[in-house]
Amino acid sequence: MQGSVAVSATESVSISGYDTENPNLASGISSSTNGTANGGSVSVTTPTLTLAGDALILARSTADGNAGNISMHLGRLTLTGGAQIQTGSFGTGHGGHLTVIATDKVSISGRSGSGYSSGLFSDSSGSGAGGDITLQARRIQLGDGGLVSAESTGAGDAGSIDIEAKDTFLSRDSSVTTEAKEADGGNIELNAPYMVHLIDSEITASVGGGPETVGGNITIDPEYVVLNGSDIIANAFEGQGGNIRISAGTFMADPESVVSASSELGIDGTVDIRSPIINISGFIGPLPKDFSGAAKLLREPCAARIRGEEYGSFVISGRDGLPVEPHGLLPSPIYFEKETEEDGESVL
């Protein structure tokens, strides 16, 4: 087994930019193996971890050995400008697990100048299976192309993604995805006690291999699910499509949003949305076409005055709040002060 890397800081860790002596080498922390030995693990423990500008934390295997695991125990994590935390298998060895546990917020957003998305990644391009991704935080926010991805382009199965937000998961123009080109796809499980809100975003699990391949399942379990121009899709090409299960107190989706489980040539998956559906049509009545005129409203009070009966009134008054005429201008406070001085009265 190769040596491990452990970083611990009492305040913060910040990584960004490139090596000054090698402009093509991004700043970062890495562990790799290119033989039969397993790769070493990478761990970071700090209240605040910030990665920007293509910065990279990486554990990978390019041969028979398994890649090391990556574990983060943080207060807050921020990835911007194409920064990535990545585990990968590019040979027969398995990819390592990527675990991020944050007590506060995780924010993943933006792309690098060359178009690479900021995010958490598990990649496999050989026969080894990809590693799983586990993300836990109080609040998780993806934006501007942020990505959480477990992908396999070889014979190894794609890893699964498990996301748990203690409060809210918000995704804007971003993606959570598992994909396998030749093997089985990984599952996606997303839990947030309060809300999952997707805006121009997608959650997808797909496979593109032969008839024996199985697509990953998608499970979402919050109190509220809100979709604005977003997709939740589990699909396959020849194999069996994955299943989608959404259990929510309230499920709202606009017409541009899609929830689908299908297979182009194989067996479609199922979509199971367990959320109360309230038909409000029986509680809404059309407004009357004719509005009541002022004469009709004043008729009874005037008749009551003539008969000497008691009648009620409702008056709204306020300082400088109403114009003298219905279409007039609001009087200035200076105007009222001048009138008050001339009349010898005081008005509060």
Read off the tokens for 165: 């937000």
Interatomic CA distance for residues 162 and 137, integer angstroms: 12
Among residues 68, 279, 227, which one has the least CA distance to residue 57?
68
Q: Which of 292-301, 314-323, 327-336, 337-346 has the lowest mean pLDDT?
A: 337-346
C-alpha distances in Å from residue 156, one per residue of 33, 213, 216, 259: 18, 11, 14, 27
Q: What is the pLDDT of residue 277?
A: 47
Among residues 149, 131, 122, which one has the least CA distance to residue 66?
131
Mean pLDDT of all residues belonging to the chain: 82
CB 262 within 8 A of CB 280: no
Q: What is the pLDDT of residue 268?
A: 85
Interatomic CA distance for residues 237 and 263, integer angstroms: 5
For the stretch 203-245, pLDDT in tens is 999 888 778 888 889 999 999 999 999 999 998 887 888 899 9
Q: What is the pLDDT of residue 127?
A: 81
Q: What is the pLDDT of residue 339?
A: 46
Residue 32 confidence class, pLDDT cut points 50, 70, 90: confident
Q: What is the mean pLDDT of residues 254-282?
A: 78
Single pTM value for the model: 0.76
For the stretch 105-120, pLDDT in tens is 999 999 988 888 999 9
